[in-house]
A and B are shown apart, each in its own frame.
Chain A
Amino acid sequence: MLTFLEAVQERPIVFDGAMGTELLARGLVIEKGTSPELWNVTNSGIVQEIHQSYYDAGADVVLTNTFGGTQPKLAKLGLGDRVHELNFAAAKLAKEIVPPEKYVAGDIGPTGLMLPPMGAAKIDDFVKAFAEQAAALWSGGVDLFTIETMFDLREAAAAVEAVRKVSEDVPIIASMTFQKKKRGFFTIVGDTPDKCFRTLEEAGANLVGSNCSLNSDEMASLFDEYNQATSLPTFAEPNAGQPQIDDKGQTYYTQTPEAFAEDIARISELGVRVVGGCCGTNPSFISKIAERLKG
């Protein structure tokens, strides 16, 4: 079997879609004492079902159900002492069902802590939190790490650093969230995609990219402008439009799988090697993408 990095060189790689909404659709309620990550232990079968549905739809890689799995995030829900248990379980259950020639990515999302002037955190707080999470995911057997939805470049770089403490050569994808402003694309903290890509490459990432906030059309514009800013293979996971609520109180996203997949095809043509879907996507989005990219 090819390593993940070899596979990236060989063919377009498709990631999975949203996990949170799939869990909510299957009965997850977020309140104190519970979290999506807890389901890796209390409802592991359901989490596996979701992963399976994405693999079946054509995803090459699924992200572990650990987006909020750092100590600071879990602590807010009263689960701060279960970091190892929940992250390890998440990796393990995905590895149990990963099909041949496919991969499991350890998912690392923001801690919720903020550096001055927005907050009082220090870089070490980030490194510590991410190292603890990464170690658990690594023990659980993940093939690579995806650091995603980062809005502060310094936090993202700290995450890359932390993963490297756990393994010197595990593949790392580092993905930032950008907003589209009049002057261009920036993180909420003010960093541009090229600055982010450069910094994350220096920190040790193997792939760099962007996910969330932007819909697929905006994401295509971002990579049209910035894919050439890095020599690393790139990663893109847009949102399927913005969330809306219908008359029945159900959330829906404004983009269709077909339209989304068309934009993803454009993104792929720009040279982005790894694509997937973020908020608002589900297995039907991923199967449209897989159809479009793999024929």
Chain B
Amino acid sequence: MRDKDLFVKIEQAVIEGEKVEVEKRVNEAIGLNLDALEVVNNALVRGIDKVGELWENGDYFLPELIVSAEAMKAGMDLLQPILGTEKGSAMAKGTVVIGTVEGDIHDIGKTLVGSLLAAKGFEVHDLGADVPINKFLAKARETDADIIALSALLTTTMVEQKNLIEKLTESGDRDKFKVLVGGAPVSPEWAEKIGADGTAPDAMSAVRLALSILEEK
């Protein structure tokens, strides 16, 4: 099978959420010594990008999203060891620490953004939900993160985003990290008000934002 056909098959399998098929075809690509980075970018990521479009349009819903994300992740898991040895550094676009703020247990959107960022080549440390500020900062410093991404779904918990930025400013290393904020109650006005480096209304634009933020750095 020609490389291009194989890529299309992988992309389709991601769109259809066919985990076993993704694994089979990715293994085929590995067996043919195809460039791992190309498999990621031209097959897996293309697939998940299409899934993101389908989600935004209201063609795909949460179950489809999760199943596709898992299929894609299965492909990534197979390629990770190869990427790690070959072009690991070229692959890693940047490091992100992501989580839902303390007091807030909503995590679907945050997990989705994390998965898509990982799919796009970021090293992602997803701390889960109900994460205290100290934990975010500790992980960001430990991993020398580029971006701290905070999700909040309640107006009562989004103030934690403001608090984290204040804490960073107090400790003198505000400039070391880009802080991105998101979640249903978060608006561009809020992001600006609290001194965040950006916000995005949904997962796909969050990923675009993260990529452009890194280009600025």
What is the interface of chain A, defined by CB distance below 8 A to chain B? 24, 30-31, 76, 112, 117-118, 179, 181-184, 186-190, 242-245, 249, 251
Contacts and interface: CB of A to CB of B under 8 A. Distances in A.
B105 A112 contact: yes
B105 A117 contact: no
B8 interface: no
Contacts, number: 51
Nearest to B58: A181
A236 to B, nearest CB: 21
Contacts of B63: 117-118, 189-190
Contacts of B60: 190
A192 B108 CA distance: 21
A30 B190 contact: no
Given A24-B156, A182-B57, A183-B57, A243 B185 contact: yes
B59 interface: yes
A40 to B, nearest CB: 19
Interface string B33-65: 000000000000000000000000111111110
Contacts of B205: none
The 9 closest A-B pairs by CB, nearest first: A181-B58, A190-B61, A251-B155, A183-B58, A117-B66, A243-B155, A243-B185, A117-B67, A188-B62
Contacts of A118: 62-63, 66, 108
A30 B156 contact: yes
8 contacts: A24-B156, A181-B58, A182-B58, A183-B58, A187-B61, A189-B63, A245-B155, A245-B158
Contact of A181 (B57, B66, B156): B57
Given A112-B105, A243-B185, A245-B190, A186 B57 contact: no
A76 B62 CA distance: 23
Residue in B155, B159, B184 whose Cβ sees the most chain A Cβ within 10 Å: B155
B190 A189 contact: no
A65 B108 CA distance: 26
Nearest to B55: A181
B187 interface: yes
A190 B105 contact: no
B126 interface: no
Contacts of B159: 249
Interface residues of B, number: 24
Interface in B53-97: 57-64, 66-67, 70
Contacts of A245: 155, 158, 185, 190, 193
Nearest to B159: A249
A242 B58 CA distance: 21
Given A186-B58, A251-B155, 7 more contacts: A24-B156, A117-B67, A183-B58, A184-B58, A188-B61, A190-B61, A251-B156
Contacts of A189: 61-63
Contacts of B189: 244
B128 interface: no
B61 A242 contact: no
B105 A31 contact: no
B17 to A, nearest CB: 8
B37 to A, nearest CB: 28
A31 B130 CA distance: 10
Contacts of A30: 103, 156
A291 to B, nearest CB: 28
Interface string B90-134: 000000000000010100100000000000000000000000000
Given A24-B156, A117-B67, A244 B187 contact: yes
A182 B55 CA distance: 10
Contacts of B184: 242
Interface in B1-29: none
A31 B61 contact: no
A31 B57 contact: no
